[in-house]
Amino acid sequence: MWLLVHIICYTLILLAVHHVFSYWKRRRFPQEKTVLYWDFFKQLIRRELQYVKAINADYRRFRSQPFVGIYCRLKPCLLVRDLSFANSIMKTAGAHHFTNTKWDYSRNYRKYNLLEKLSPIFCKNQLEGMLPHIEKVGNNLLNHLNDRWRQDDKVIEVDAQYLISTFVINVLANLIYGSEIDHFKQTDNVFKQYVNEKLRNTRAYNFFLRQNSSITLREMLNENVQQREQSGLIRKDILQMLLKLRNGDNIEYNEKFTWCLKKDYGIKEKFLSLSKLTRIVEHLFDMGYESMAVTATFTLYEILKDDDIRQKIMQELEAFELTKTNCNTCVNYENLQNLKFMDLCIQETTRKYPSVPLIERQCCKDFKLPGTKLTMRDGDTMIIPLMAIQHDEKYYVNPLSYKPQRFVEDKSGEKAEVFIGFGFGAQICVAQHLIKLVIKLILVKLFLNYQLESTDSGSLKVDYKRLACIRAKKGFKIKLKKLLQK
């Protein structure tokens, strides 16, 4: 009797496991071999422990197929490994069929797409209004470096990764939370604590100890929200735009655009509750830090490693330096936009060192895959291995080499290689212009005031954390020598 019970139980378990791992096969999608043998379970374990490396290995393993069904954490995922096919999906489906679950905060407002609502925050005119805050942080960086000089010092050595990280945290705290703290002077502040705790590896640490800094930041945000909504305080930053969105104001730039909040905001229902606003702010801070700090660090590293690239940057900045004296401030938006070669360097950095190696999206509406009879259903997950694609010789010549010119059509008519560093189609990063603006400003501040030299003989190592972001393991040491001001 008991033997029969055991046999029935084992049979039911096997049938349940087979049902889970035959999801794509039942839907007539191509899928990985899911026979219950050790190699398959090894793949499942690897995807759990080394998610990014495992997906990159899967990209190389299924070279003959544009897409294939795989299983991650017992969840079926469609791995899209062909660049043109991925681009076609994202352009055809856009934000109405695939969502980034991190941003799906307006579930009570299903007719809205939150990323579309946020995108006007990062348009030209709004960023131009925020630039003085970013430049103020850049000046704090210069003051910090100048304070480190003793009278007999000709050269000082600093950790560029620490400087850039502090600069980015300061910029985000200023724009997103409205904080005026100088992080180069007040090093032990809640924003630094938040980032340091976020970078810890253990989940237990994140769960128990990170709560302190998160709670403090939420209290700070609540205080700023109440102050601005009640007193009508105007500050040209991201938080001001989020409050306009929260209160139903139009945030798209036009002739009638103003940074002020409407007077009657207290009467009607809020588009975003305070809790949803808090979550949006936290994710803007997290994702902004990951993208800006990583990209700025590796862009500076690659510029200093190659004398030709450094020379082109300095030539471009010579013209920049000549025009900056015509403005009341040291830099202006148009000056930064005219740094075209620096733009190419930032693009090449995001290709070679993408801060987010994988694009993961959830289908929120049935969608027929272009050129096929197959349909993705509501709730299905799609993974695009961005880093693996950008390191594939099929799409890029010498993909592991740093060549900013690869994105420019040459004189012989050779077609420029495609740039996908900030995403595909309608799912492109809405804050890409802010990211480039912040990176350009810190590079301009450093190169116009100092002669920079890298002290690292080898290459920076890449470290994949639990959040699948790239960081340098041992910092990035550089030597600074003051330039004579003209």
Q: Which residues are annotated as a binding site for heme?
A: 429
* Closest to 161 measured CA to CA, from 298, 3, 363, 68: 298
Residues 385, 391: Cα–Cα separation, whole Å: 10
Structure tokens at 122: 């990062």
Taking CA atoms, 20 is separated from 59, 72, 378, 460, in Å, by: 22, 11, 17, 41
Determine the length of the chain.
Answer: 486
For the annotated binding site, the residues are 429
Residues 275, 211: Cα–Cα separation, whole Å: 15
The 3-state DSSP composition of the chain as helix, strand, coil percent (nearest 5) reads 55, 10, 35
Work out whether the CA dihedral 35, 386, 101, 87 comes out positive or negative: negative
Contact 183, 169 (CB under 8 A): yes
Residues 370, 292: Cα–Cα separation, whole Å: 34
Residues 388, 55: Cα–Cα separation, whole Å: 8
Q: In the 8-state DSSP scheme, what is residue 31? A: B
Coil, strand or helix at 129: helix
Helix extents (H) in 232-273: 238-246
Contact 390, 407 (CB under 8 A): no
List residues bridging with 376 in a β-sheet.
367
Position of tokens 């960081």? 471
Q: What's the gap between Cα 452 and its chain centre?
A: 27
